[in-house]
Amino acid sequence: MLRNPNYRRAAPDRAQRVRKGIQILFILLNIWIAADFYRFVRFYEMGGGYDPPQRPPGVEGWLPIASLMNLKVWLLTGIVPRVHPAGMFLLVAFLLISLFLRKSFCGWICPVGTISEYLWKAGRRILRNNWRMPHWLDLGLRSLKYLLLALFVYVVLRMPVEGLLDFMEGPYGIIADVKMLNFFRYLSETSAVVLGILVLTSFFIQNFWCRYLCPYGALMGLAALASPLRIRRDPKRCIDCAKCAKACPSGLGVDRLVTIQSAECTACMHCVAECPAEGALFLSVPVGPRKIPAWAVAVAMMAIFVAFYAGARITGHWQTPVPRRVYTQLVPHANEFAHP
């Protein structure tokens, strides 16, 4: 570390408290949605009654492929599909969040990302460190999520609009959310082993699933490449301690760059929190304020999320209008429907 005449010790950073607050908020929201959806499914599995619970549309946030299908239909026809429209609105909201606020969806909102982060932090506390892949292997593994994304996009693009609508409005498409729930409720031995390996690997390697295998994160990363928001380093104030690079969960060379442009940056601001030199590292846009505080990121993120939620509700495109009799027929037999 070199002595820098411009060095002044940075004040304690509060960004991680703000980010953790948003993470906890969305974890609790997902738990509430999951409990409501489970109650909805059990109602129809048990034969129904006089007061059916309402299906929570937010569960469609866990149907990224269906959301991508609906987005294609909407872009090509201008018509919002009837089945699982909430998922499409959530997908667009998350894409816009990534476009304006980098890949902050992954580092602030996504419950899988939050769980993954707490796993590697637990591993670091117990083992005193996390494993780092060799650079060549890390780069190769990162490409896997983009290959998976390309596969899903290819399948959606080659399907005609009529085929997409037939799929979504067929029995399998209507209860895709129920089948997703049943996947976790009736986990096969193979699936349990794979999930166990992913959890264990995430304990040793920072954000293993998010970093190497998540196609949803790959999509958000591509949108984030156009984001004006960047982590920036001021070489005149930097003291070359490399604490920022060591803190980065994505393994980016923050200490060697002036501007972080990588699609892997999740705007988690771990690097900013660890920087000891005042003004050496900060989140900002090319013009305007030198520093964008974490609370401003949180406010902008929630504004986009709430705007799309409210817009979908006001325009009548939040709920899936499936009659009760259809759910009565399909939900108890969800596992009998194979993928078309």
**Averaged pLDDT of the chain:** 92
Q: What is the mean pLDDT of residues 333-340?
A: 82
Q: What is the mean pLDDT of residues 14-18?
A: 88
> Which pLDDT band holds residue 288 (cuts at 50, 70, 90)?
low
Q: What DSSP string describes 109-142?
A: I-HHHHHHHHHHHHHHHHHSS-B---HHHHHHHH
Residue % of the chain over a pLDDT of 70: 95
Query: How crowded is the C-beta side of 162, counted as CA atoms within 13 Å?
Result: 0
> Which pLDDT band holds residue 6 (cuts at 50, 70, 90)?
low
Is residue 199 pLDDT above 80, yes or no?
yes
Is residue 192 pLDDT above 90, yes or no?
yes
User: For the stretch 313-327, what's the b/e string if a residue is b when 16 or more beta carbons lie within 10 angstroms of its beta carbon?
Assistant: eeeebbebebeeeeb
pTM of the model: 0.92
Cα dihedral: 41, 62, 206, 184 (round 10):
30
pLDDT in tens, 218-263: 999 999 999 999 999 999 899 999 999 999 999 899 999 999 999 9
- Is 169 inside a domain boundary? yes
Rounded-to-integer distance, Cα 281 and Cα 248, Å: 13
pLDDT in tens, 55-70: 999 999 999 999 999 9
- The predicted pLDDT at position 7 comes to 58
Q: What is the mean pLDDT of residues 9-33?
A: 89
- Is 278 inside a domain boundary? no
Listed residue (9, 10, 17, 105) closest to 61, CA to CA: 105
- Range 76-84, long-range pairs (CB < 8 A, 24+ positions): 76/161, 77/161, 80/315, 80/317, 81/165, 81/168, 82/169, 82/320, 82/321, 83/168, 83/169, 83/173, 83/174, 83/320, 83/322, 84/60, 84/168, 84/173, 84/176, 84/177, 84/320
> Which pLDDT band holds residue 313 (cuts at 50, 70, 90)?
very high
Query: How crowded is the C-beta side of 3, counted as CA atoms within 13 Å?
Result: 1
- The predicted pLDDT at position 90 comes to 98
- Is 249 inside a domain boundary? no
> Which pLDDT band holds residue 128 (cuts at 50, 70, 90)?
confident
- The predicted pLDDT at position 60 comes to 97
> Which pLDDT band holds residue 1 (cuts at 50, 70, 90)?
very low
Please count the other Cβ atoms lying within 10 Å of the Cβ belonging to residue 137.
10
Is residue 130 pLDDT above 90, yes or no?
no
Q: What is the mean pLDDT of residues 15-31?
A: 95
- Is 267 inside a domain boundary? no
**Looking up tokens 């699933």, which residue turns up?**
209
Burial tier of 186 (Cβ tally within 10 Å: 0-12, 13-18, 19+): exposed
- Is 182 inside a domain boundary? yes
Q: How many domains does the chain have?
A: 1
Q: What is the mean pLDDT of residues 289-295?
A: 85
- Is 89 inside a domain boundary? yes
> Which pLDDT band holds residue 154 (cuts at 50, 70, 90)?
very high
Q: What is the mean pLDDT of residues 146-157?
A: 96
Range of the domain at 120: 16-35+54-226+293-330
- Is 76 inside a domain boundary? yes
Is residue 10 pLDDT above 60, yes or no?
no
- Is 117 inside a domain boundary? yes
> Which pLDDT band holds residue 3 (cuts at 50, 70, 90)?
low
